Amino acid sequence: MTPALLALSEVSRSFGGVRAVSALSFAVAEGEIVGLIGPNGSGKTTVFNLISGVFLPNDGTLTFAGERLVGRKPHQTCRLGIGRTFQIVQPFNSLTVLDNVRVGAFRTIGNPRRATREAEAVLDLVGLAHKRDAQPPSLTIADRKRLELARALATRPRLLLLDEVMAGLRPAETLEMIELARRIHASGVTLLVIEHVMRAVMSLSHRVVVLHHGEKIAEGTPQDVSRDPEVIRAYLGEEYRPA
Amino acid sequence: MILFFAYIGVAWNILGGYAGQFSFGHAAFFGLGAYTSTLLHLHYGVSPWIGMLLGGLAGVLLGLLSGFLSFRYGLRGPYFALVMLAFAEMLRLSFETWMSKSHPLGLPIPLKGTSLLDFQFKDKGRYFSIVLVMLIAATFLCHRRVRSKIGAYWMAIRDNEDAAEALGVNAFAYKLLAMAISASLTAMGGTFYAQYFLTLEVNDVFGVQISVEILLSAIIGGAGTVFGPLVGAVALQLLAEVTRVYIRAFSGFDLMVYGCVLILVIIFLPQGLLAGLRRPYRALARALST
């Protein structure tokens, strides 16, 4: 196996008396799509916040491309090549769609005109080019999720953390989003995906890590994981039957 | 004076309008600039022009210090505004104590004649030209920044600091930069003010009313727009003049009217006059194009 792009080793984080993440270890190899699933409150988003530097872990180490992540701030982890979206979309509401994406593009491009071109190219990719002059509050949920994705993508990440980009979408929109994630992956970006929409994450991911109460209870291919009795008990429920 | 307040508004707007850090204590920089140039001129014969640059430099240093302290500890919104107010008040009281011994009636700047070098003119038109140049330069600087990386990062920080950080924006550094630029421009305005009135009183340059006046033109005109401060300054100064000249029946009545108009603007045009003007303008443009 190729050396891991992202590796978590025995990472723990508590909030007050609650252990949100407990001795968690897993790795993501370059070029993979890894799904991170688990019931509500199982610590998925906390894992993202630990990776991107919003929170410091109480214990354990995180490395990205050989660099230690612990102690780096969000803007520094972004510069290392980690892009992320937020579960609750966080657009810059007073800026146009294009200007939102330009902020991301400026990470690698200093020239304003070239940054604009880069932002336009990213908007084309995610299918938002026709909304470039709109203000985020006027967008549909699906378009806001696309904008969130476009902005992160414009920073040209090596690893993209997607936090529930499909939540709240209609089935057709979900399919488009899966298609989009595949295209982004095909362009050479490694993906770590938090997702509640089971069908989406199962069809998209090469590998799945399952969290429950902050602990890893299973890891493997979507097929294996969805047959794992402990996972079914903790999360999927009896009615879920793999196709 | 309209142009002067427009200029100061532009300076405030960089920090308050674009970077979204609402400072309630820009008088600190204003007074510091005024006293730096004036004291250097009185005691060491330094030309006010050089004093203006040194005052700007002093503004940068004070801006970096106050910015470092407040941004380092993550102060946002009203907390930042209050800390800036505290900085201004601290400086005001320090200068008041210092000056009350030597110059209890204010610091007069001796008349030296009307040479360009001394920054003193009988002809007020000269001052007008200088402040016009300052205003154009500051507006141009501001306009250039808006479309650049720095401007994009400032507005991103203003709208959502956490999201900006996630996109690789070092919010702390960019806020400090906005602070430094805004503070130095404001301090240079302070020097101009001192040379214009040729007398300096602590409360006139460090007082809260200066802080308010600085931010008012930017906010009334439209914070975060290039020409907002200019529009706001024109509107405010005209309003002040008109109410003062025409409403003289009761003393103080003009100020009441002035206050009421301000309240109306804030209620009905919270985005500023410029945004309010833009809406009918766009409607007109659309009507004409169809």
Report the sign of the C-alpha dihedral through residues A191, A195, A201, A206, in that order.
positive
CATH 3.40.640.10 for domain A4-236:
no
For residues A101-106, average pLDDT: 92
**Would you give the distance in Å from CA A67 to the centre of its chain?**
20
Q: Is A42 on the interface with B (CB under 8 A)?
A: no
B160 chain-A contacts, CB cut-off 8 A: 90-93
A80 and B CB contact within 8 Å: no
Average pLDDT of chain B, as a whole number = 83
Provide the chain B residues 174-213 that lie in CB contact (below 8 A) with chain A. Answer: none
CB-CB neighbors (< 8 A) of B156 in chain A: 92, 95, 103
A114 contacts chain B (CB < 8 A): no
Of A52, A103, A112, the CB nearest to B156: A103
Q: How would you classify residue A18: left for phi > 0, otherwise alpha for psi between -120 and 50, otherwise beta? A: beta
Q: Which residues of A touch B168 (CB under 8 A)?
A: 75, 78-79, 104, 107, 155
Q: Phi/psi at A19 (nearest 5 deg)?
A: -85, 100
Residue of B176, B169, B177, B172 lying closest to B153 (CA atoms): B169
Give pLDDT tens digits for B118-169.
Answer: 677 777 777 888 888 888 888 888 888 878 899 999 999 999 999 999 998 9
Q: Percent of chain A beyond pLDDT 90?
A: 49
Chain A nearest-CA distance from B147, in A, is: 7
pLDDT tens digits, residue range B167-214?
A: 989 999 999 999 999 999 999 999 888 888 888 888 888 888 888 888
Average pLDDT over residues B213-239: 83
Tokens of A9: 């080793």
* pLDDT surpassing 80 at residue A77: yes
Which tokens hold the place of A14? 């508590």
- The pLDDT value given to residue B227: 83
**Interface touch A79/B163, C-beta < 8 Å:** no
- What residues in B contact A104, CB-CB < 8 Å? 167-168
Domain boundaries, given as residue ranges, for chain A: 4-236
Which residues in A lie closer than 8 A to residue B166 (C-beta atoms)?
A: 52, 74-75, 78, 83-84, 86, 90, 152
Q: Which region, left, alpha or beta, applies to residue A212 given φ > 0 means left and ψ of -120 to 50 means alpha?
A: beta
| pLDDT score at B290 | 57
For residues B198 and B109, the answer to whether their CB atoms sit within 8 Å is: yes
Task: Say how many CA atoms lie within 13 Å of A136 toward its Cβ.
Answer: 21
Q: Which residues pair with A83 in a beta bridge?
A: A160
Distance CA A86, CA A134 (A): 20
Predicted local confidence at residue B113, as pLDDT: 63
Tell me which of A78 and B255 has the higher pLDDT.
A78
Q: What is the pLDDT of residue A2?
A: 58
Least confident of A38-42, A72-76, A119-123, B115-119: B115-119
* Residue B166 C-alpha, separation from nearest chain A C-alpha, in angstroms: 5
> CB of B233 within 8 A of CB of B276?
no
pLDDT band of residue B264 (cuts 50, 70, 90) is confident
Give the whole-angstrom CA distance, residue B77 versus residue A136.
Answer: 22
Q: Amino acid identity, residue B87?
A: F
A194-208, A229-243, B218-232, B271-285: segment of lowest average pLDDT:
A229-243
Three-state DSSP string of chain B: CHHHHHHHHHHHHHHHHHCCCCCCCCHHHHHHHHHHHHHHHHHHCCCHHHHHHHHHHHHHHHHHHHHHHHHHCCCCHHHHHHHHHHHHHHHHHHHHHHHHHHCCCCEECCCCCCCHHHCCCCCHHHHHHHHHHHHHHHHHHHHHHHCCHHHHHHHHHHHCHHHHHHCCCCHHHHHHHHHHHHHHHHHHHHHHHHHHHCEECHHHHHCHHHHHHHHHHHHHHCCCCCCHHHHHHHHHHHHHHHHHHHCCCCCCHHHHHHHHHHHHHHHHCCCCHHHHHHHHHHHHHHHHHC
Chain B contact set for A151 (CB, 8 A):
163, 167
Asked if B171 is an interface residue toward chain A (Cβ–Cβ < 8 A), one would say yes
B158/A103 Cβ within 8 A: no
Residue A238 confidence (pLDDT): 53
Q: Which residues are registered as beta bridge partners of A212? A: A215
Tokens of A107: 């990470």
pLDDT of A243:
44
Range with lowest mean pLDDT among A193-197, B128-132, B145-149, B250-254: B250-254
The answer on pLDDT for A239 being more than 60 is no
Residue for token pair 């509401």: A93
Is some CB atom of chain A closer than 8 A to the CB atom of B153? yes
Q: Which of A161-165, A203-207, B35-39, B75-79 has the lowest mean pLDDT?
A: B75-79
Query: CB-CB: which of B158, B159, B167 is closest to A155?
Result: B167
ipTM for this prediction: 0.84
Is residue A97 within 8 A of residue A53, CB to CB? The reply is: no
pLDDT for res B22: 87
Q: Chain-centre distance of CA B136, in angstroms?
A: 15
Stretch B35-62: mean pLDDT: 88
Return d(Cα B115, Cα B124) in angstroms, integer: 13
The nearest alpha carbon in chain A to B17 belongs to A94
A188-216 exposure pattern, b = at least 16 Cβ within 10 A, e = fewer: ebbbbbbbbbbebbbebbebbbbbbbbbb
Mean pLDDT of chain A: 88
CB B84 within 8 A of CB B28: yes
Decide if B155 and A106 are in contact by the 8 Å CB cutoff. Answer: no
Neighbour tally for B45: CB within 10 Å: 7
Contacts of B18 in chain A (CB under 8 A): none
* pLDDT for position B249: 64
Mutate to test the interface with B, among A72, A73, A90 (most CBs of B within 10 A): A90
Residue B162 C-alpha, separation from nearest chain A C-alpha, in angstroms: 8
Give the position of tokens 């100020």.
B255
| Residue numbers of B between 12 and 71 with CB closer than 8 Å to A | none
The pLDDT value recorded for residue B204 is 83
Q: Is the pLDDT of residue B265 over 80?
A: no
* Beta carbons of A155 and B155 less than 8 Å apart: no
Of B148, B158, B168, which has the smallest distance from its Cβ to A75's Cβ? B168
Contacts A83 to B, Cβ<8 Å: 166-167
Q: According to the model, what pLDDT value does residue B47 have? A: 84
Q: CB distance B152–A106 less than 8 Å?
A: yes
